[in-house]
Amino acid sequence: MTDHRDAVLRLWGRQLYERQSEPLAWAVSVLEATGRPQTAVTAAMSGQLDALADFPSDRAWLLFRTVAKLAANLRGDGCYDADVGTRIGPLALRLGELEPPLAGPLGDSLGHPPDGPTSLVTVHAAELSRNRTIRLRAIDGLLEWAELGHPQARAALTAVASDHRTQDVTVWTKALNRIALFGDASLESGLLRALADTGHRGVRWSALACAELGFRRAAPLITALLEHPDSAKVPARRSASLRNALPCPRWQPG
């Protein structure tokens, strides 16, 4: 597999914030770990980013200011700044390499970097059983790794797609939207079962996934779905997609 170290570090950087139960306290610990004066830490945590210009620049400056910006955003509106946050992991690792005395404090405050993609994928897979916010974040992470070709991510997504009855419908449909990344013949029985479950809110996603994977046994079920009285409620674009999903012209409704 290709070495995706940069991608690993960016994802790790983003997750450093996302996994904190007390993100402001975490930000303070990271700022202190950079070795800058306590006056700078206090100014940063009070949102006085302009005041940071009074302190001399050094190798820790970029990481310090990045974490300070994230903390300021959190204090202002509680929103996570993905562009800022993804820089934290790579910056911290580089700073630890340039300034060995800081490596220990940074590792203690941030959590040590992952060994590689597999460690992150394992975390994502485990998080599918957590609360809904974490589940949605985890499925996005698995899709990112599947796009990079990680086999364990693809296996985890296959497990999600294989049984609609055990999955959060939003998590399940997110996976099915990218079925081409990981889907194979092993999913046929599970997707046909989902397609036959007309009361399930994700039934139309299962039809499109069956079509994407070329499952011909889905054709009668897709036809029945199109002929169902509720099909008039389906947006025209999605209805057209379902009609196009029929694998063979002789099965298309007249």
- pLDDT of residue 249 exceeding 50: no
Structure tokens at 203: 């039934």
pLDDT of residue 246: 58
First and final C-alpha spacing in the chain:
48
Residue 100 has pLDDT above 60, yes or no: yes
pLDDT tens track for 6-36:
777 777 777 777 777 788 888 899 999 998 8
- 3-class SS at 79? coil
Does the pLDDT of residue 215 top 80, yes or no?
yes
* CA separation for the pair 3, 98 (Å, rounded): 23
Distance from C-alpha of 92 to C-alpha of 107, rounded to nearest angstrom: 8
142-193 residue pLDDT tens = 998 888 788 889 999 999 999 999 999 999 999 999 999 999 999 999 999 9
Helix (H, G, I), strand (E, B) or coil at 197: coil
> What value does the mean pLDDT of the chain take?
80
pTM, entire model: 0.59
10/8 Cα distance (integer angstroms) = 6
Task: Say which amino acid occupies 188.
Answer: E
85 C-beta neighbours (distance < 10 Å), count = 21
Reported confidence tier of residue 251, pLDDT bands at 50, 70, 90: very low
Mean pLDDT within 73-86: 74
Alpha helices in the chain (DSSP H): 5-18, 23-33, 38-45, 61-77, 82-85, 88-98, 100-110, 117-127, 132-147, 151-161, 169-177, 188-196, 203-213, 219-227, 236-245
Residue 73 has pLDDT above 80, yes or no: yes
Chain segment 34-44, per-residue pLDDT in tens:
988 888 899 88
Q: Which of 226, 228, 9 has its CA nearest to residue 120?
A: 9
Residue 188: per-residue pLDDT: 96
> DSSP code of 80?
-
- The answer to whether 140 touches 153, Cβ cutoff 8 Å, is no
Q: How many CB atoms lie within 10 A of CB 115?
A: 9
Residue 50: its pLDDT value, please? Answer: 76
